[in-house]
Structure 1
Amino acid sequence: MSSIELFAGAGGLAIGMVNAGFQHSAVVEWNEDACQTIRENIDHYETGGSSFDLYMGDVRDFDFGPYAGQVEVVSGGPPCQPFSLGGKHQGFLDERDMFPAAVGAVNQTMPKAFIFENVKGLLRQSFSSYFEYIYLQLSYPEITRLPGEAWDAHLARLENIHSSGRAKPTYNVLFRLLNAADYGVPQKRERVFLVGFRSDLEIQWSFPEPTHSEDSLLISKWVTGEYWDRHKIAKAARPELPPRLRSRVARLEFLAPGINTKLPWMTVRDAISDLPDPEKCASPVIPNHVFSPGARAYKGHTGSPYDEPSKTLKAGAHGVPGGENMLVRDDGTVRYFTVREAARLQTFPDDYVFHGAWSEAMRQLGNAVPVRLAEAVAGSVATSLHVASN
């Protein structure tokens, strides 16, 4: 099944799409370092001897004409800074808002489905009208904005059409806020996914159910002890059960065996404990595993505990917020994650090499969709499309 990837960045969503069975016809990304990262990892994209067009430039300048009616899925993560809690919160007033370009791509290609991802800030109350606007544009991508028409006037026109029932939506659109940790990613990363299927296909679909849970992690740590045993941590060296969790763990102890069938959340220790300490042993064999000095904790930026999923890796508007991309060691000291460790937290393959200096590589990773989460959503979409075509 063919696809077009927009706003590809370092390629997290794009690789997840490939792992789910899609083959990219085109990949569009404006950042030179991100494009070089994709070029250096081309084997992860070109499966079965196939190839794709890598376009480095503004998606608004890309010619979608040759792909009209030729791709099953359009996917991508429109730049999220306009809606990010760490950004300037300008939304549709921000020149980096690329949702209009994403809608335009759907309109010009009319794929069978689309998958778009964005930060949870998109669901903030202050953006509710604009989120409705995005939703209705994706439902009726062919009803475009008129010359000189303000976005809210276009929204009103779409609302009138939708509420009157005069036109059936071209795409049936669903959205949900997903936590990557619930799908086996060792990171607490909440993202909004908007998924649409062309209505003429009459596909019934729902978001994939979570495979992992925090309750299961708590049970493995504080009830059975399996987590510590697996990591060969002696009882004397294990931390105390935090007071804030005591009542919750007490309730979990009384669950009937087997009632919780989900796997435990993955932790930072699960993800990186087999890598050598980069401060003590720089490894020339492991790509991007290089120590970066200067880490310090301060209010609001305290790093990620070893035995929890990491905090959300971030890119930042003016460099990387160090506290969000730090590891808290067992002794309480902190250090920056290496690029390879951050890639593990985003579930990129170990042979996936990131181009650019530490800050640039971390920017790419902070903007990426976790590969495992992308594969979960894309795989579910692929299954529905396959069933519909048979």
Structure 2
Amino acid sequence: MKSVELFVGAGGLGIGVSQAGFNPIAVVDWDRWACDTIRQNKDRGLAAMKDWPLTEGDVSLFDFKGLSGPVDLVTGGPPCQPFSLGGQHQAFLDKRDMFPQAIRSVRELKPRSFIFENVKGLTRSAFSNYLEYIRLQLRHPDMVARKEEPWLDHLARLEDYETKGRHDGLLYNVVMRVLNAANYGVPQKRERVFIVGFRADTGVEWHFPAATHSQDALLWSKYRDGFYWDKHRIAKKDRSTSCRSAARAGRFQEMPTGEPWQTVRDAITDLPDPELCPGVASRYHDHKLQPGARSYQGHTGSPLDEPAKTLKAGVHGVPGGENMLRRADGSVRYFSVRESARLQTFPDKMVFHGSWTEAMRQLGNAVPCQLGAAVAIQVRSCLIQNA
């Protein structure tokens, strides 16, 4: 099945889509560093992206009509700065908003389906009208704004058309949901909003994939049967004794279904600590100590035996002090690039172009590959069933 990947960044969603069985006929991003990362991994023969037809450039200038043949899926994460909790919340007033280009891709390519994702901040009440505007444009992509038409007037026209009940032209059935990556086996509590649509003539009935992992299962593994600690060979004296978590686990009458949340320890336990064992750590690509980590109120790092806190883009994260590991003894250090890639479920063979700061920006903006794959696999399955 053919796909088009927009705003690819370091390739988290794109890798997940490729792992789901889609073959990209176009991969587009404007960021030089992210494109260098993709090119470097293509040269290294990384399976997930070795055949990606990469275009470095502005999506707004990309000619979709130049692509041959029907497209099954368009995916991407339009730049999220207008909606991030760390940004200025300008939304539709922000020129960095690339959702209009995502909508243009649907209008011109007429794909059988699409997957767009963004930060959870897009669902804030302050942006509710604009989020509905995005949804209705994706549902009726042929209804473009008139020249100089204010967006609220365009929204009103879309609402009139939506409620009329008779729709001509291109039509998509669109659903949205906030997904927590930890619930899909990613060792990180990372919430993203996914917008998924199917062209109405496909006849697809679709819902988001059910969660496969849970906090309750992790609590059981820690405080009821002790399997988590035994698996990692943790001495009883060194095991976490959270009274609140143990009390919650004690209320379970039987083992919860599904797999336990994956923790930081699960993700990186086989890697040498770059601070304590720098010589051994240097044998691993992108795995060296970044100095300067410190803990302060509200920013204490990610506990070793929980899923990591959300990785942030930037040197210290937004608003600061995160992207850190907090050891059992309370000491902290920054995650290495390799560890951060593990927390985002990127392939171990993937390398990241640029300094630690630049690599962390790419990683902090990415969708976990495993989360992207979970959504894309279900989309592909429905497309196959309704071919």
TM-score relative to the length of structure 2:
0.95
Q: Is 1:3 the equivalent of 2:11?
A: no
Q: Give the drift of 1:319.
A: 6.2
Which of these residues, 360, 363, 375, is aligned with residue 361 of structure 2? 363
- Secondary structure of 1:288's counterpart equals coil
CA contact (8 A) 1:18 1:45 kept: no
Rounded to whole Å, the distance in 2 between the matches of 1:53 and 1:61 is 16
Rounded to whole Å, the distance in 1 between the matches of 2:96 and 2:68 is 25
Partner of 2:87: 87
Partner of 1:40: 40
Rounded to whole Å, the distance in 1 between the matches of 2:262 and 2:321 is 20
Letter of the 1:280 partner, please give it: L
Rounded to whole Å, the distance in 2 between the matches of 1:384 and 1:66 is 27
- Secondary structure of 1:236's counterpart equals helix
Partner of 1:265: 261
Rounded to whole Å, the distance in 2 between the matches of 1:336 and 1:104 is 40
* Aligned-pair identity (%): 58
Partner of 1:276: 272
Partner of 1:74: 74
Rounded to whole Å, the distance in 1 between the matches of 2:6 and 2:312 is 20
Partner of 1:31: 31
Spell out, residue by residue over 1:245-292, the C-alpha distance to the aligned partner (whole angstroms, 9 max, x if none). Answer: 34422212x22x5xx221000000000011001013333431100110
Partner of 2:220: 219
Rounded to whole Å, the distance in 2 between the matches of 1:2 and 1:110 is 12
Q: Give the drift of 1:44.
A: 3.6
Rounded to whole Å, the distance in 1 between the matches of 2:298 and 2:195 is 30
CA 155–273 in structure 1, closer or farther in 2 if over 3 Å, else same: same
Spell out, residue by residue over 1:155-191, the C-alpha distance to the aligned partner (whole angstroms, 9 max, x if none). Answer: 0000000011131671000111100000000000011
Q: Give the drift of 1:96.
A: 1.1
Partner of 1:156: 156
Letter of the 2:99 partner, please give it: F
Letter of the 2:55 partner, please give it: Y
TM-score relative to the length of structure 1:
0.94
- Secondary structure of 1:80's counterpart equals coil
CA contact (8 A) 1:7 1:30 kept: yes
Partner of 1:130: 130
CA contact (8 A) 1:25 1:51 kept: no
Alignment root-mean-square deviation, CA: 1.5
Spell out, residue by residue over 1:286-312, the C-alpha distance to the aligned partner (whole angstroms, 9 max, x if none). Answer: 110011000001222110000000000
- Secondary structure of 1:365's counterpart equals helix
Letter of the 1:384 partner, please give it: C
Rounded to whole Å, the distance in 2 between the matches of 1:211 and 1:237 is 29
Query: What aligned pairs does 1:1-390 form with structure 2 within 5 A after superposition?
Result: 1-42=1-42, 43-44=45-46, 51-67=51-67, 70-167=70-167, 170-240=171-241, 242-252=242-252, 254-255=253-254, 257=255, 260-282=256-278, 283-316=281-314, 320-321=317-318, 322-389=320-387
Rounded to whole Å, the distance in 1 between the matches of 2:369 and 2:246 is 34
> Which ranges of structure 2 fall in alignment gaps of 5 or more residues?
none
Rounded to whole Å, the distance in 2 between the matches of 1:45 and 1:205 is 29
Spell out, residue by residue over 1:65-108, the C-alpha distance to the aligned partner (whole angstroms, 9 max, x if none). Answer: 12265211100001111111111111111111111110011111
CA contact (8 A) 1:15 1:45 kept: no
> Which ranges of structure 1 fall in alignment gaps of 5 or more residues?
none
Spell out, residue by residue over 1:312-350, the C-alpha distance to the aligned partner (whole angstroms, 9 max, x if none). Answer: 00115x863452200001110100000000000000011
CA contact (8 A) 1:176 1:194 kept: yes
CA contact (8 A) 2:316 2:322 kept: no
CA contact (8 A) 2:15 2:48 kept: no
CA contact (8 A) 2:46 2:349 kept: no
CA contact (8 A) 1:68 1:109 kept: no
Rounded to whole Å, the distance in 1 between the matches of 2:299 and 2:238 is 26
- Secondary structure of 1:323's counterpart equals coil
Spell out, residue by residue over 1:182-226, the C-alpha distance to the aligned partner (whole angstroms, 9 max, x if none). Answer: 000000001100000000011111111010000000000011100
Question: Size of the alignment, in residue pairs?
Answer: 381
Rounded to whole Å, the distance in 1 between the matches of 2:71 and 2:331 is 50
Q: Give the drift of 1:46.
A: 6.5
- Secondary structure of 2:273's counterpart equals coil
Letter of the 2:36 partner, please give it: Q
